[in-house]
Amino acid sequence: MARAALDRLSKKQDGTPAAGSTANRKRMTLNNAMEYACERRILSGNPLKRIRWTKPRIVQALDVRVVVNPEQAARLLTAVGH
């Protein structure tokens, strides 16, 4: 169950992969909740400590539709210079 929870933390609500920093932040929050449950003796131990987990690596491609081309860059620099 803990593995499934960690896998779910690595995804956004629409099922696409979440950013590594987002997944790591969510994992830390879950870990804190588990530690609190152990402190309150609701759990005998933190199940997350028995699982090897690394935050997901997301490879993002550059979207050329949103990057300025050389002509646009020249016009922008000219406009800013005035």
| pLDDT tens string 29-38 | 999 999 999 9
Q: Tell me the whole-structure pTM to 2 decimals.
A: 0.61
Q: Which domain holds residue 23?
A: 2-81
- In the chain, the number of structural domains is 1
pLDDT for 82 beyond 80: no
Q: How many CA atoms lie within 13 A of 54 on its CB side?
A: 3
Q: Which of 42, 34, 45 is nearest to 5 (CA)?
A: 34
**pLDDT one-digit tens code per residue, 46-68:** 998 888 877 666 666 667 778 88
